[in-house]
Each structure stands twice: as C-alpha cells, then as structure tokens.
Structure 1
Amino acid sequence: MTVTIKDVAKRAGVSPSTVSRVLSNHPRISLETSRKVKEIMEEMGYHPNMMAKSLVSKTTNSICIILPKPAEELFSNLFFMELIRGIVTQAGRSGFDVLISSGANEKEELEAVSRLLKGRRVDGVILLYSRKDDSVIDFLESNGYPFVLVGRSDRYENILSVDNDNVMAAFDATNHLITMGHERIGFVSGPPNLIVSRDRLAGYQKAMEESGLEIRPEWIVEGEFLQDSGYRAMSFFMNLPNRPTALLVVDDMISFGVLRGLNELKYTVPQDLALVGFNNIPLSELSSPPISSIDIGIYHLGYTASQVLIQAIQQPDKDIGYTNRFIIPHRLIVRESSMYSPGRK
C-alpha cells in the first residue's frame, strides 16, 4: 500500500499541511519538527510525488546551471568542477535538485534556457560566466526569471551576482611580480568577450601604469581557458627579441600549458620566466614547480550563488540585502613559480 502525506502526519502527530511545509523546507517549520517528520518519512518509506507537488506549488525545487560551452571542454578545467561542487552542495542542503545544460554557442544556450524555464522544468538559473552584451542575460532579465550570475554584467547593475574583485586581484598579482623586481611582465588572457578577462587585464594594466612600467602589445596574448592556450603562448613569448621575465596568467589551467611549453623549450620557472596564475586549484600546489596563484574561493563562489538564487526563488518579494552583488574575497598564495628576482645572480 502506498504511504501518503496523511499517513505520515498521523504517525508524527502533526497536520498534513505541516508535512507539506517540511517537504518544501518552509522557514517557519522548526528544526525539531522537520527532523521528526523526516525520520518518520524514512521509517514509513514515504516518497513525495514531485510531479504532483510541482503542479500544486507551481515550483519544481530544481535549478539549472548553464555552462558557457560544450561540457566536454569545461570539465577538463577544475575551476568549473569546484564551482559546480559548491552549487550542488548548497542546493542539496536546501532540498533542490540541480540540472546542468550547455550549448555550443550563445544561441543554443538561449534556446536551452528558454525551453527549461518556459516549460517549468526549473525554478531558476545560475550562469557560470559573464559576457559582453549577453543575450541570455537579456532574456532572463526582461522576462523576470530568477537567476544569479557568477561574474559581473556590463549592462545591468542590479541583477543578482556573485563575483570577485577581479581588477584588484590582478592588480595584487602584478604588484607581487613588480615587488620581486620584474619590469617586463606579460599577460596571458582568456577570451576577450568575457568580462573576467577584461577585468583582470585592467588590473594588470593599472599595476603596470602606476609603477611606471611599459606595457607592450606583444606582451598580451589572448586564448581559451585551456592548457593549449598557455602552451601555444610560450612559443610566441620566448621568441620575442625583448621577451617578458614574468607572466600573469588568467587561469591556472593555462599556467599548466605554460609550464609544459617552457619545459619543451628547455626554459626553467622561475629563473627564466616567473609565473602567477589565477584560481588556486589543488593541482597548482602539486605542479613542478608549485604555481603562485590568486585564490578566489571557487567553492564559496558556487555555494553563495546557489544560496542567493534559492532564497530569491523561495522568497521572491524579500529584499536580499543592501546589495545584489556579492563579492568573495581573494588572496595571493605565493609559491616557487614567482620567487625569483631577475636582478639576483
């Protein structure tokens, strides 16, 4: 015989509406009552009819993560894996399921978002990127759908977003290299249409200008957030007649490609080229040499994005707080890859 909400309520000594509120994680239900009801559900083998629940409440208790390009490319970058881990952990604790979608281009991403939200398959969306003039953000904002951006929008100031101060982070990383005695510092960037690439480039330029150091166009190379971008950049940089003595690299995965390229060219880090990366993924500490990196709190970025979105879904009329933009602090982790002064003999 199928166990119903009424059966659970009778055993727990509460009303059926209280059981329903426990299932929807209603904030007015005490922790003690929630724990008691959930224990009885488990004892009785009760499984809620999520389809029926969705029809009644007009919610799905599901959120969607939109990946910025085909998943097989992104999952090779540990940044996205750690970001998603933070999102999924918090969502699970709040009783939400997580669906992941991607597209080969912006048009396919927009179609996926529209299909999921208009079909009421998810209650809200987390975007793992911020692009210039993004049509996906335009669609979400104009239709009033709940969403959170991991990053910064260049067009909308009041949307919910979770980010780092990427300008200041790149400024701090560049200043570290300047403090070590480097004057010729290059920058390996990500795709120019991504806001994070532009912000980190701006921070690098600001530090160089404030120190009175020259910025040469050939010292700035753009690429993708993949090892191959760093690998290809090395054959270019190391053949320059006046090459940099240090590099700021926009992502640690690109830094691994830099190390591979330098090794094949018989150069050593940091003696021939000092290096600072971004994201401080676990492999940065285990590489040879260990890579200095800006720790941006990847897990915390994802966890906070999930938390903010679910709060917006459950309490749409409640003011989130004094700001819609949540900034996760960064810190520079100094390791062997940058601990060398070009003036030291």
Structure 2
Amino acid sequence: MSVTIKDVAKKAGVAPSTVSRVIAESPKISKETKKKVRKVMDELGYHLNLNARNLVQKSTKTIGIVLKNSASQSLLNPVFPEILNGISAFCHQEDFSIILTSGSSEEEIFQDTVKIVQGKKVDGIIVMYSKKDDKVVPYLSECGIPFLVIGKPVFGLNEVMYVDNDNVFAAKQATDYLIKLGHKQIAFISAAPNYEVSLSRCYGYKLALTENNLEIKESYIKSFQIEQKDPGKQAVTELLQMTEPPTALLIADDLQAMLVLLILRELKIKVPEDVSIVAFNNTIISRLSSPPLTSVNIQTYQLGYEAARCLIEQIKEPDSSKKSVIIPTNMEERESCLAINHLK
C-alpha cells in the first residue's frame, strides 16, 4: 500500500496541508518544519507523483525561455549558456524544467512564444533580453502569464519584473578606469543600439566623459552584430582611419571584443601597446583571449539564478509583490590595458 500525504502528516505531527506546502516549497513554511517533514518522507519512502500533482494544480512545472536570437546563434555567445546554467540550477532545485524558443527570426520567436503560452506548456516565461519595439514583452504583459525580463524593461517599467545589472554605473566605472590610465580618446562599441543594455552602457560611457570634461564624439560610438558578414571590420577600420584614432576601446560584449582583437591583429595593431580594451560580461572568452581581456564581471550565473528564483516565487505565490533584483558588477583587471604614457 502506497504512503500518502496523510501518513506523512501524522508521523511528522503536522497538518496534511502543511505537507502539501512543503512539497510546493511554500516560503510560508519554516526551514525547520520543511526539514522535519522531508525527513519523515524519506523514512516512510514517500514519493511524490509529479504528474498527478501537476494535473491537480494545473501546473506544467516548466519555465519557457525566450532567447534573443535563434538557439544556435544565442548559444554561440558564452554569456547565454552561463545565464541558462544559473536558471537551470534553481529550476532543478524546484523540480522545474525549461524549454527554449526555437524561432530563427524575431517574428518566429514571437510566434513560438505565443504557441508556448496559448498551448499552456509553461507556468512562466523568462525573456533573455530587453529591447525597443519588441512584441514579446507587451504580449506577455497583456495575456497575464507570470514572466520576467533579464535586463531593464523598456516597456511598462513599473509593471514588469526584471533582473539586471546597473549597466550605467558599470560602463561609467569602466570608462573612468581608462581615463585614470590617461586615455582621452576612448571609443565605445556595442551590439544593436535598440537593445536596452547597449543604451545603458553607452549612457554610462558618455556620463564618465562628461564628468571628466572630455568631449563626446559621436563618431567614436559604433555598433555591429555578430551575425553580420565580417562583423566589426567596418567599425574598427573607421575608428582607426580617423584623424585622432582612439587609444582605448570600451566594448560592450566579450565576444565582440574577441572579434575586434582578431581584426586589430590583422591590421598589425597591438593590444595593449597601441590600444587598450575593456570588455563586458567576463565570460571564459575574456580569460582565454590573447591578451586576456580586462572585463566587467556582470555575474552571469547569478543573473540566471535570481531570474528563475523571482519567477518561480511569483508562480507559487501569485498574490505576492513582484520582485526585481539588481546584481552587482565588478572589474576584472587583466592584460588588455596600459597607461597612456606607455603608448607610442
């Protein structure tokens, strides 16, 4: 005869509803009670029938992940697998699974999201980006499903739950670092400027220049996407051909920085002897590049972990207030920067 929740409750000396809340990981149950109930479950050999519970609760125990690009493109950039690793770690603790959107274009990703939501395949959604003119976030907001954005939302900021870094502060700090090394001609390179992270980091870059009485040159601000043919070549060439080429580059992504390094190498420009580079994200690329890149550590794993935690708590306690979290950043100094007096 199988062990029931009532059997567990009787031996643990608690109500059956308390056992159910322990199983559901309710934050209203103390750690001590959870520990006691789980110990009894182990002693009695109680095994939760997940399928039956999900049917009763009308829960899929699944989180949908909306990627910035197609899965094949997104996973090429180490920042996304590292964030997914954090999401997966918390989901595993809570017995949740994840599914990824599989579209190869913005429209396909949107349609895939609609199918996932309307098909009731998930309990909630994590959107891995924030950008202008996006269709996904407004749709999720209208349909009422719990969701969270990684990045500061540009749509309904007060209504949307999010996890992010203070990208303005991080970019200002990185630019200040280069200025303290004596650099006055500093360029900024990012991905498509319609992404909120690019806008925030560009604003932080400009803020540092302004506060240090340095001119903001729009010609020093470039963008390119990894998917382009010969990505970054035109942007880097234009910078180097200027009357006053930059002595330092602030690049908003490690993968972009790696491509810039390769272009500079082709052009016989040495890093950091001829130009210094500070990147963002502190992925494995920054440590393995040549030279190793000074990079802003955005705590990618923690971004994913906190995103999953906030979303699953909202799913379990829908009446609770929505939480948004800012993950701190720090600079990891390596070998891609030199003080200006070391330059030719």
Q: Same fold (TM over 0.5)?
A: yes
Q: Any conservation in 1 of the 2:70–2:101 contact (CA below 8 Å)?
A: no
Matches of residues 75-94 of structure 1 in structure 2 within 5 Å?
75-94=75-94
Question: How large is the RMSD of aligned CA atoms in angstroms?
Answer: 2.6
List per-residue Cα deviations over 1:261-285 (Å, max 9, x = no partner). Answer: 1112111111111000001113312
Scaled by the length of structure 1, the TM-score of the pair is 0.88
Equivalent residue, structure 1, for 2:132: 132
Secondary structure, counterpart of 1:233 in structure 2: helix
1:305 Cα deviation from its structure 2 partner: 0.6
Specify whether residues 249 and 17 from structure 1 end up closer, same or farther in structure 2 by C-alpha distance, changes over 3 A only.
same
Q: Any conservation in 2 of the 1:77–1:226 contact (CA below 8 Å)?
A: no
Q: Any conservation in 2 of the 1:164–1:329 contact (CA below 8 Å)?
A: yes
Scaled by the length of structure 2, the TM-score of the pair is 0.89
Distance in 2 of aligned mates of 1:337 and 1:88: 33
1:298 Cα deviation from its structure 2 partner: 0.9
Distance in 2 of aligned mates of 1:37 and 1:222: 58
2:117 counterpart of 1:146: no
1:55 Cα deviation from its structure 2 partner: 2.3
2:291 counterpart of 1:296: no
Distance in 1 of aligned mates of 2:68 and 2:97: 20
Specify whether residues 39 and 179 from structure 1 end up closer, same or farther in structure 2 by C-alpha distance, changes over 3 A only.
same
Specify whether residues 339 and 47 from structure 1 end up closer, same or farther in structure 2 by C-alpha distance, changes over 3 A only.
same
1:21 Cα deviation from its structure 2 partner: 4.5
Equivalent residue, structure 1, for 2:267: 265
Specify whether residues 98 and 274 from structure 1 end up closer, same or farther in structure 2 by C-alpha distance, changes over 3 A only.
same
Secondary structure, counterpart of 2:187 in structure 1: strand
List per-residue Cα deviations over 1:27-81 (Å, max 9, x = no partner). Answer: 437223443355358x57x46251x322211111111111111111111111001
Q: Any conservation in 2 of the 1:8–1:37 contact (CA below 8 Å)?
A: no
Amino acid at match of 1:262: L
Specify whether residues 18 and 208 from structure 1 end up closer, same or farther in structure 2 by C-alpha distance, changes over 3 A only.
closer
2:246 counterpart of 1:244: yes
Equivalent residue, structure 1, for 2:34: 31
Q: Any conservation in 2 of the 1:8–1:40 contact (CA below 8 Å)?
A: no
1:176 Cα deviation from its structure 2 partner: 0.9
How high is the sequence identity, in percent, across the aligned residues?
37
Distance in 2 of aligned mates of 1:80 and 1:116: 21
Equivalent residue, structure 2, for 1:326: 325
Secondary structure, counterpart of 1:305 in structure 2: helix
1:13 Cα deviation from its structure 2 partner: 4.3
Unaligned segments of structure 2, at least 5 residues: none
Q: Any conservation in 1 of the 2:9–2:19 contact (CA below 8 Å)?
A: no
List per-residue Cα deviations over 1:134-156 (Å, max 9, x = no partner). Answer: 22111111122100110011231
- In the comparison of the two structures, how many residue pairs are matched? 337
Distance in 1 of aligned mates of 2:10 and 2:114: 41
Unaligned segments of structure 1, at least 5 residues: none
